[in-house]
Each structure stands twice: as structure tokens, then as C-alpha cells.
Amino acid sequence: VADSTVKGAICQLWSRRRYRGDMRDNCNLTSWYVDLDEGRGLGVKMLRAAVSDDSAVYATHSPEPRTIKVFLRIGFQFIDTTEWIVPNLPGLGRGGFIETQDIDAHLSGDALANYRTHADMPGVGHVGLTEFCHIAFVRSRWRRVPVARIVYANDYGLLQRRLPTFARIALTRFGFPLTAVEKRRHPARPRLAIAERAKEPILYRGTGVEPDQIDSLYTEVVNFAPSLRG
């Protein structure tokens, strides 16, 4: 703030998450604004101040293309979030489904905490597949068609094996004709996948944190997602 006027702002969304057994502060950066009349150096100065805690894990899930180089210059890493678009068909993926109110009975530890934190958020849908896998998703679109976009699973290996089951449930229980899942979570092209969609990359920085540990559960994608019931 200068002369009672906001010259720049960065929004931080904080949470506590576990990374390979260590509980860490997690900060998602969003809404980075700078008054260009203040000079080009202000934005970088603000960003450095916003990520000054070396013990925290930082991420930005929707960076503007012109800001990516700035993040990379101060130590952030790049995660490709390209997605598969999969049709949801009623006859595929028959299998067990757990009612939403019973999901927490099948989870423990961090997986249970992740579910309970988001269970009542109107913009987040939840599916529990027997064996057991909790999947969280939000509403998205592909060429104006509604999409169930998976943002989290507590067991991505099981998700790969049971994606057709989730797709069937997303159609029959929630009315989504399509599912989107990141290629890094499902490397092999899913059966009947109709497209690859390039999404904004995730940029993150955190000592000792691997790219596969960064997901979209505690981000603006979830906190400000449109209601599934809207």
C-alpha cells in the first residue's frame, strides 16, 4: 500500500498437510496483482516476500503464462497437468460404491482428515469405491460439456484400475457425461478416452517434496469451484 492505495496483492491459502510423514505448512498462491505504474520490480519483490518461509510448501495452480518464468527463477518446479477426457458410460465399471455418509468409516489418518475437511463443501463431490478409494472431484467443462474433474484420490493406483467405475457413478449418480483425470495420475490412455486437454501447469516449491505429492485438493479450484448442485 502506498498513499492509501493498494499497489499490489498476493492471496495466500494456507493449510496443514503431511508430506512423506512430515506435517508441513502448505500455501497456495493465487490472485497476484501488481500496479504496473509502480515498476516491474514490485511484483518479484512481493512474490519473494510471499514465499519467504523455507520450511513451507508453496504451489500455484493457475499461473498466468507471463508469470511462469518468474516462479521458475525463484526455485519453483513445473508439473504438467494435461488431462484425459473420458466418456462416462452406464454399462462400464460395475462395482462397489460407498454412500457419501459412510466414506469416513473406511478412512483413517490424513486420508480421513482430507475427506472431513471437504465433505460439506458444495463445490466438491465425493465417491468412495470399495477396496478402498476416496475420490474428490469438481465441476468443469470441455467444449461446453459438463465434466467431473478429479482433483484428489487417496489411492491413485486403485483409481487407475477402477476409473470406469468412477465414470459410471459420475454419470448415474451425479449426471456428468464426461470425466477428466490428469495424465500424471493415469499415465496410460484410458479406454475410450476422447481427447487430451492441456491445463494450466502447477508450479510448486518445497524442500523434500516430490511432484506426485502435489494435488489440487487444498486450492482455489476447490474453495471457489461452482456448486455441483448448481
The model's pTM is 0.90
- Is residue 99 very low, low, confident or very high in pLDDT (cuts 50, 70, 90)? confident
Nearest to 58 by CA among 9, 22, 14, 10: 14
Residues 207 and 185: their CA atoms lie apart, in Å, by: 22
If you count them, how many residues does the chain have? 230
Please enumerate in sequence order all residues whose Cβ is within 8 A of that of 21, keeping only pairs 6 or more positions apart, or say none.
none
Q: How many CB atoms lie within 10 A of CB 22?
A: 11
Average pLDDT over residues 106-112: 94
Rounded percentage of the chain residues whose pLDDT exceeds 70: 96
Query: In this predicted structure, what is the pLDDT of residue 142?
Result: 94
Average pLDDT over residues 3-26: 88
Cα 58 from chain centroid (whole Å): 14
Residues 171 and 162: their CA atoms lie apart, in Å, by: 15
pLDDT in tens, 131-179: 899 999 999 999 999 999 999 999 999 999 999 999 999 999 999 999 9
Query: In this predicted structure, what is the pLDDT of residue 182?
Result: 96
Average pLDDT over residues 120-140: 93
